[in-house]
Amino acid sequence: MGIRDFLREKVQKVATTDTRKEIDEKLWQKCGGCGEINYHTEIAKHLQTCPKCGKHFPISVKEKIDIIIDEGTFQEIDENLKSLDPLKFKDQKKYPDRVKAAMKKMDMNDAFVSGIARINERPVHIGGIEFGFLGGSMGSVVGEKIVRLVESAIEKNTHVITISCSGGARMQESILSLMQMAKTSAALVKLRQKGLGHISLLTDPTTGGVTASYAMLGDINIAEPGALICFAGPRVIEQTIRQTLPEGFQRSEFLLEHGMVDMVVHRSEWKSEISKVLDFFG
């Protein structure tokens, strides 16, 4: 075999392997929970969860909202609010540049989507955080949109549903971000004083200042299976106390067992269970 034939054979082999891998990834996905390989179409039928073990794969906040509400009833509000740069923050990039990149990537103006919708014909106010937008971090816009959502619910006498998926407070806004914890919590006090309910849906991950504020202040706290829900993560805690933590620490099931959440609910049952809670609220 000549050198040209040898190289041609190698190139063809590599090309065939790469093509097969590309085709495989388009058709199948390996579950990080049970290790089973499933067709993407089967995963989609199960609302982006593993048909074998039920592991929940990441989905967008708009997909989460669509699972819960009656089809075609969502009307977004306050979608034009955008983050400013009052602190002129800069690390490796300027803060406005990071925000612009996130806006382009996610096709939204900030991490929180809010609106009015219906669940089994019942009007509700619903909003949630998109993790893909700067890690779902809570800055001034996210806090403001949550407060406006709650205030609109009070005005229209409807219950509120929030969906959390966040890495915590947005460091680029410093104290202006941290104050959103108190701001959103105070708004929920007003909601409760009006006799209206707050259902908090906690998805993977819900951490930091979001957990330490409105996310854990639901009248009913619902978690998706296997979600990490905490203030400081397990690795930070282990390094601080120098002890090995229990298996499953800070996951939904652990929190349910220790009374920190009220229910752990599969995506396929979100709408039915939330509807039951709304009926209970009246």
Range of the domain at 76: 58-281
Distance between CA atoms of residues 105 and 58, nearest Å? 16
Instruction: Indicate the DSSP class of residue 46.
Output: T
The list of the chain residues with pLDDT below 70 reads: 1-24
Amino acid occupying residue 115: G
Phi and psi angles of residue 167, each rounded to the nearest 5 degrees, phi first:
-90, -5
What pLDDT sits at residue 26? Answer: 79
Q: Looking at the domain assignment, is residue 28 inside a domain? A: no
CATH code: domain of residue 138: 3.90.226.10
Q: Looking at the domain assignment, is residue 47 inside a domain? A: no
**Kind and range of the H or E element at 217?**
none
Distance between CA atoms of residues 97 and 112, nearest Å? 19
What pLDDT sits at residue 233? Answer: 87
Q: Looking at the domain assignment, is residue 132 inside a domain? A: yes
| Beta bridge mates, 38 | 29
Of 52, 49, 103, 105, the closest CA to residue 80 belongs to 103
Which residue stretches of the chain are H helix? 3-27, 40-45, 61-68, 95-106, 140-156, 174-193, 208-211, 234-241, 252-257, 270-281
Q: What is the pTM of this model?
A: 0.89
Distance between CA atoms of residues 83 and 98, nearest Å? 11
Q: Looking at the domain assignment, is residue 238 inside a domain? A: yes
Q: Helix, strand, or coil here: 269? A: helix
What pLDDT sits at residue 7? Answer: 45
Give how far the C-alpha of residue 16 lies from the chain's centroid of Cα atoms, to the nearest Å: 38
Q: Looking at the domain assignment, is residue 44 inside a domain? A: no
Q: Looking at the domain assignment, is residue 18 inside a domain? A: no
Q: Looking at the domain assignment, is residue 222 inside a domain? A: yes
Q: What is the pLDDT of residues 109-124, one digit of tens each?
A: 999 999 999 999 999 9
What is the tally of structural domains in the chain?
1
Number of residues that make up the chain = 282
Q: Looking at the domain assignment, is residue 7 inside a domain? A: no
